[in-house]
Amino acid sequence: MEGTVHLNSVLTFPSNARTRAPFKPRSAAKGTSSYQLRQFAEATLGSGSLRKAVKLPEGEDLNEWLAVNVVDFYNQINLLYGSITEFCSPQSCPEMKATDEFEYLWQDSENYKRPTKMSAPEYIEHLMSWVQSNVDNEQMFPSRLGVPFPKSFSSLVRQIFKRLYRVYAHIYCHHYPVVVHLGLEPHLNTSFKHYILFIDEHRLATGKDYYGPLGDLVDSMIRSD
């Protein structure tokens, strides 16, 4: 877990049909708040201090900081999962599980109004589409300066982080040997530690949504920082 790697700038994975293109940067023009926040995040990640990287920059808007990081974590997880999707199929992973104790069922407000059992790749495809549709929704993730975030933004962000955690959990519990074989272990560990420290800093999850099947790993990452 030593060292800090910014996944979005250094990793190159084989192309895969399940890997989505990264989001377009939020208000990425120089001089905008989002651009400055992104530059701050990249600089602090490169400095080797993950605990510093997750803190809200002084004088900046918390919701904007959360929005920028949602997009970055989405892209990191897409890259990591995209590198192992050939090993994650409906045949090899017929259920979206971490350990046997933790199976995840998909539910949304449109097509799956009741918790629905799915294979891991199908679940993750629905999850990534759901995150992207929310970020693309100007009412939920306004990209123009001066447009306020909705009152429901905080609860949506918590739900996004809760669900993205499940992809890390599935990778660690079912595909870790492949990750090691591909030489991606440092990148996975750095990304997950960054994710956990961000959740911890901004109190975005509690209980099993935060620890869950990776409780010991979460504890060790928090203690080691």
Is residue 170 part of an annotated ligand binding site?
yes
Is residue 88 part of an annotated ligand binding site?
yes
Q: d(Cα 162, Cα 192) in Å, to the nearest integer?
A: 13
Q: d(Cα 20, Cα 82) in Å, to the nearest integer?
A: 8
Residues in Cβ contact with 190 at an 8 Å cutoff, skipping those fewer than 6 apart: 1, 3, 4, 5, 7, 50
Q: d(Cα 47, Cα 49) in Å, to the nearest integer?
A: 6
Q: d(Cα 94, Cα 122) in Å, to the nearest integer?
A: 9
* Long-range contacts from 159-163, C-beta under 8 angstroms, 24+ separation: 160/70, 160/131, 160/134, 161/70, 161/73, 161/195, 161/199, 161/204, 161/205, 162/205, 162/209, 163/127, 163/130, 163/131
Is residue 181 part of an annotated ligand binding site?
no
Is residue 6 part of an annotated ligand binding site?
no
- In SS3 terms, 147-198 reads as CCCCCCHHHHHHHHHHHHHHHHHHHHHHHHHHHHHCCCHHHHHHHHHHHHHH
Asked if 200 contacts 225 with a C-beta cutoff of 8 angstroms, the reply is no
3-state secondary structure of 97: strand
- Known binding residues: 88, 93, 170, 175
- Known binding residues for Zn(2+): 88, 93, 170, 175
